[in-house]
Amino acid sequence: MTALWLYLGSAIALAIVACMLAAWACFSDRSRGRRRCPKCWYSIHESLSYPTHCSECGREIAREKDLHRTRRRWKWIGASAIVLFVAAFIAVQPKVQPFGWGSMTPMTALIFLLQFDDTDWVVRGIESQINYDLFHRRRAPDFLDHWNPAKEKAMWRWQWRWLGRTILPRLDDEDLDPFARRNYFDWIALCRDFAGDRQLHAEATEALRKQMSDEAPWARNRGWMLAVDYSDIDGSIDWLLERLENAPDDDAIWGAMMGLRVVAWRDRRGVDLLLEFLDHEHPRMRSGAVTNLGFVVHRNGFEAEIHDAVDAMKDDEDCDVRLERIRSLAFMLTEEHMWPMIVAAMESEDICVRRGGFGAGNTHVYEWRGRATTMPARIVELAVASIDDEDEAIRRSAAWIVAGAATDDRRRQMVLPHVEAIEQHAEHEDLSVKQAIDAALRDLRR
């Protein structure tokens, strides 16, 4: 935010200077009754008969009014225009630097260009204008607020329809750029909800539900979540329960559970269904319910009933359930209670609980760095000591915890005493661990 106001403050100051300079150049030298040549501004005192010529430059003077013009200093007007252009250039930098010049291009022009080309700057331009306002403030905090009504204001209804009709035929294009394809999934769901077109609504929902069989995991997961239709919540619940009853594999179960999470964000019935699945005989159902209840609380606010139900899963026979319990509770608790819980899990003798502890630590130190403001030094100590752990999930999470801690000035002080131990893993055979250690050492050496 400081950088944003620094840019805007500088731009406003320059704009004021430019306007003052332009006003001076345009209006400071008015005639005030003086008779002057409109070309060389030589003062003329004698009586004239028109038309006549200036005795200094020879300029033809057709009438008396020509001698009383305001003198414009065009070079200074040009200079003020340059200063104003620089001010405008500085003002748009907070949005242009992360998203490119497409973020400042009119949306209508971007949608028109999208008819012919999936160029990266066009896609990024649309994406930025949907998710950010003119002052670089997010319309919704993250993907968890995908259905936030604030996003509807990004475009007129006819623009949502136009965008939806443009991208709908391309969702099945195998040659489509992965970045564009991800955005198309998000946009088609928004177009479905905001365009006010019944036919587009039905076609978009059908297209999203087709993605459940996509080869890419992210496409399947996004499809499950985005296919939930808030305008027909009863139909969405029936559809998800039918999918759960006939789920062919664990991935389908997990996806349907994600769909129930989306239902629960707006409708209490989604929460009640997830709570019921905590007692299901299928372990994947239970672990999916535990995970998604954490996301529900994170978005909707703390509920003691949900917390107690998830916490009661600590003795479940399934490893994934005990693992996901830790990660889910971390989303529910405040930092004051979250970090001691994560430390205890990282020190547990239960390998599943340890995985959950390191996974939660990785989420809140590296991926969700905003929640790591009160992280204890013990987290870093345990992570450094576990970089070479036999368990793949634990050592990778440990390495990325170190990398996340190294990015922040305060937390970097916790990592510096362990630099020698970290450097010993610089050539680790696990590629993910090596990448994390490289990132950590790069930040520590800045």
* Per-residue pLDDT tens digits of the chain, which is 446 residues long: 567 778 888 888 999 999 999 999 888 878 777 888 877 887 877 766 777 888 778 777 777 777 788 888 888 989 999 999 999 888 888 778 777 788 888 899 999 988 887 678 888 888 888 877 655 565 554 544 555 666 777 889 999 999 999 998 888 777 778 778 888 888 888 898 888 889 998 898 888 888 777 777 777 777 788 888 888 889 989 989 988 888 767 888 888 898 999 899 889 999 999 999 999 999 999 999 999 999 899 888 888 999 999 999 999 999 999 999 999 999 899 888 999 999 999 999 999 999 999 999 998 887 655 555 678 899 999 999 999 999 999 999 999 999 988 887 778 888 889 999 999 998 999 999 999 999 999 888 87
Q: Which residues 6+ apart lie within 8 Å of 79 measured at CB?
A: 21
The tokens for 271 are 């929460």
Of 36, 34, 32, 41, nearest in space to 73 by CA: 41
pTM of the model: 0.71
Q: Residue 41: which region, alpha, beta or left (left: phi > 0; alpha: psi -120 to 50)? A: left
Of 204, 212, 211, nearest in space to 188 by CA: 204
Sign of CA dihedral 403, 407, 409, 411: negative
Of 342, 318, 445, nearest in space to 398 by CA: 342
Residue 44 backbone dihedrals phi, psi, to 5 degrees: -120, 120
- Write out the DSSP string of 78-107: HHHHHHHHHHHHHHTHHHHHHH-GGGGS-H
Residue 132: strand pairing partners: 138
Give the tens place of pLDDT for each residue, 109-131.
999 988 887 678 888 888 888 87
Q: How many residues does the chain have?
A: 446
The tokens for 46 are 């004698």
| Cα–Cα distance measured from residue 296 to residue 308, given in angstroms and rounded to the nearest whole number | 14
On whether the CB atoms of residues 189 and 259 are closer than 8 A, the answer is: no
Place of tokens 């400081």: 2
Place of tokens 């198309």: 184
3-class secondary-structure state, position 231: helix
Residue 25: strand pairing partners: none
3-class secondary-structure state, position 4: helix
3-class secondary-structure state, position 320: helix
Residue 71: strand pairing partners: 29
Q: Is 261 exposed, middle or buried (0-12, 13-18, 19+ CB in 10 A)?
A: buried
* DSSP conformation class of 61: E
Angle (deg, nearest 10), helices 178-194 and 198-210: 140
3-class secondary-structure state, position 349: coil
Long-range contacts of 162-166 (CB under 8 A, 24+ apart): 162/111, 163/111, 163/114, 163/126, 163/187, 163/191, 164/188, 164/191, 164/192, 164/195, 164/197, 164/200, 164/204, 165/200, 166/111, 166/114, 166/115
What is the pLDDT, as a whole number, of residue 370?
53
Sign of CA dihedral 361, 365, 368, 374: positive
What is the pLDDT, as a whole number, of residue 396?
94
3-class secondary-structure state, position 155: coil
> What amino acid occupies position 174?
E
| Cα–Cα distance measured from residue 234 to residue 355, given in angstroms and rounded to the nearest whole number | 37
* DSSP conformation class of 60: E
Q: Is 46 exposed, middle or buried (0-12, 13-18, 19+ CB in 10 A)?
A: exposed
Of 421, 382, 423, nearest in space to 401 by CA: 382
Beta carbons within 10 angstroms of residue 373's beta carbon: 10
On whether the CB atoms of residues 252 and 288 are closer than 8 A, the answer is: no
Of 139, 195, 145, 129, nearest in space to 168 by CA: 195
Q: Could you give the domains of the chain?
A: 2-97 (no CATH), 338-446 (1.25.10.10)
